[in-house]
């Protein structure tokens, strides 16, 4: 009996579904294999005296390669989130950590960002204000804190809490993959206890106390290749948070202050992060073809 077009279509669909099942099984087996490697990594680190499970420099390089090689129907948002959850979860099984989040400007967007980047395994701990987040990180054995880059009204110069050598430091800026339509696009700093190794240093951040505001400051910082991230006043006066490309960040920060005619004060390192990776924006045609 000759197969009808409907019969052939059913056979084709069955074969395609078998291929999907085969791929799904292989993906699962590879994740199991990754877990076995992580077990060996934990044992090796233990023999060598331990070390931080967070490696922002390596994570940034992994995400760069991921975005550069990605093609096809699956949205980049999905791929990025899957890999972020894989990285965050396997980091958690190496060394349990919680994610402390400043929700003083609203919980939903910050929760979305935390879940997008770290998944659901690491506990989510909301706090009211950046100072409370820094307190929690400082008191922990190895937790993370998430703070809005833009800050909020009344936050004050929270970065002044990071100036002591043993104080928490900024270790990352999220989202790493920068694009206008990012589903978790609020710019966020990640803070942790200082990392002895594997920090990402494309961008270095410095806090500095100045006696008063100078209108020349934004231009002088920009002329030195940096940007003014924040400025706020507390009982000690005006504090600035500045970002400059590494590894000459400190030299650039000093030059910017000198150009603005500020002397007698020294920029203090408060962290660093990988330079955001700017992804190619999808065209309207590409978006409609994926709808």
For residue 276, is pLDDT > 50? yes
For residue 209, is pLDDT > 50? yes
| Nearest residue to 177 (alpha-carbon basis) of 55, 75, 109 | 75
> Would you state the pLDDT for residue 50?
58
- How far the first Cα of the chain sits from its last, in Å, is 40
β-strands 124-127, 99-102: how paired?
A: parallel
Q: Are residues 45 and 65 in the same domain?
A: no
Instruction: For residue 10, tell me if it sits in a domain.
Output: no
Q: Are residues 228 and 211 in the same domain?
A: yes
Q: Are residues 68 and 132 in the same domain?
A: yes
As a whole number, the mean pLDDT across the chain is 90
Q: Are residues 209 and 129 in the same domain?
A: yes
> Would you state the pLDDT for residue 241?
97
Instruction: For residue 44, tell me if it sits in a domain.
Output: yes
| More confident of the two residues 94 and 244 | 244
Q: Are residues 39 and 68 in the same domain?
A: no
Instruction: For residue 7, tell me if it sits in a domain.
Output: no
For residues 184 and 186, give the distance between their C-alpha atoms in angstroms, rounded to a whole number.
6
Q: Are residues 70 and 32 in the same domain?
A: no
Q: Are residues 23 and 159 in the same domain?
A: no
Question: For the whole model, what pTM was predicted?
Answer: 0.88
Show the tokens assigned to 239.
Answer: 């504090």
Instruction: For residue 284, tell me if it sits in a domain.
Output: no
Our count of domains for the chain comes to 2
DSSP lists the bridge partners of residue 233 as 238
> Would you state the pLDDT for residue 49?
60
> Would you state the pLDDT for residue 92?
93
> Would you state the pLDDT for residue 24?
96
Residue numbers of the domain that contains 20: 16-50
Phi, psi of 71 (to 5 degrees): -145, 170
> Would you state the pLDDT for residue 283?
38
Instruction: For residue 168, tell me if it sits in a domain.
Output: yes
Q: Are 289 and 72 in contact (CB under 8 A)?
A: no
Query: What count of Cα atoms within 13 Å lies in the side-chain half-sphere of residue 41?
Result: 14
Q: Are residues 120 and 179 in the same domain?
A: yes
> Would you state the pLDDT for residue 280?
67
For residues 103 and 50, give the distance between their C-alpha atoms in angstroms, rounded to a whole number.
33
74-89: per-residue pLDDT in tens?
Answer: 999 999 999 999 999 9
Instruction: For residue 62, tell me if it sits in a domain.
Output: yes
Q: Are residues 94 and 44 in the same domain?
A: no
Q: From the CA atom positions of the chain, what is the Rg in Å?
A: 23
Q: Are residues 21 and 151 in the same domain?
A: no
> Would you state the pLDDT for residue 284?
37
What does the pLDDT average to over 14-25? 95
For residue 48, is pLDDT > 60? yes
What does the pLDDT average to over 2-19? 81
Q: Specify the length of the chain in residues.
A: 291
Instruction: For residue 125, tell me if it sits in a domain.
Output: yes
For residue 199, is pLDDT > 80? yes
| Nearest residue to 154 (alpha-carbon basis) of 176, 131, 175 | 131
> Would you state the pLDDT for residue 51?
61
> Would you state the pLDDT for residue 87?
93
Q: Are residues 154 and 242 in the same domain?
A: yes
Q: Collapsing DSSP states into helix, strand and coil, what is residue 224?
A: coil
| More confident of the two residues 100 and 180 | 100
* H/E segment holding residue 113: helix 108-118
Instruction: For residue 9, tell me if it sits in a domain.
Output: no
Q: Are residues 34 and 94 in the same domain?
A: no
């Amino acid at each position: 009996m000759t197969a009808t077009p409907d019969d052939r279509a059913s056979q084709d669909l069955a074969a395609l579904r078998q291929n999907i099942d085969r791929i799904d099984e292989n993906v699962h087996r590879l994740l199991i294999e990754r877990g076995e490697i992580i077990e060996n990594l934990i044992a090796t680190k233990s023999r060598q005296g331990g070390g931080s499970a967070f490696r922002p420099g390596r994570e940034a390089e992994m995400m760069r390669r991921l975005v550069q090689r990605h093609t096809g129907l699956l949205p980049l948002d999905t791929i990025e989130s899957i890999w972020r959850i894989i990285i965050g979860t396997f980091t958690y099984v190496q060394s349990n950590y919680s994610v402390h989040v400043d929700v003083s400007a609203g919980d939903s967007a910050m929760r979305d960002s935390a879940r997008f980047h770290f998944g659901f395994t690491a506990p989510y701990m909301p706090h009211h204000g950046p100072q409370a987040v820094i307190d929690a990180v400082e008191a922990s054995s190895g937790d993370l804190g998430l703070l809005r880059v833009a800050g909020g009204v009344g936050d004050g110069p929270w970065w002044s809490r990071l100036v002591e050598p043993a104080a928490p430091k900024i270790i990352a800026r999220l989202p790493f993959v920068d694009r206008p339509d990012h589903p978790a696009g609020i710019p966020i700093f990640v803070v942790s206890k200082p990392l002895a190794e594997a920090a990402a240093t494309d961008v270095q951040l410095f806090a500095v106390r100045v006696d008063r505001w100078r209108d020349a400051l934004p231009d002088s910082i920009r002329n030195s290749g940096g940007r003014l991230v924040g400025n706020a006043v507390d009982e000690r006066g005006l504090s600035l948070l500045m970002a400059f490309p590494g590894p000459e960040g400190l030299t650039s920060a000093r030059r910017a202050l000198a150009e603005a005619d500020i002397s007698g004060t020294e920029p203090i390192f408060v962290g660093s992060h990988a330079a955001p990776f700017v992804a190619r924006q999808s065209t309207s045609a590409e978006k409609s073809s994926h709808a």
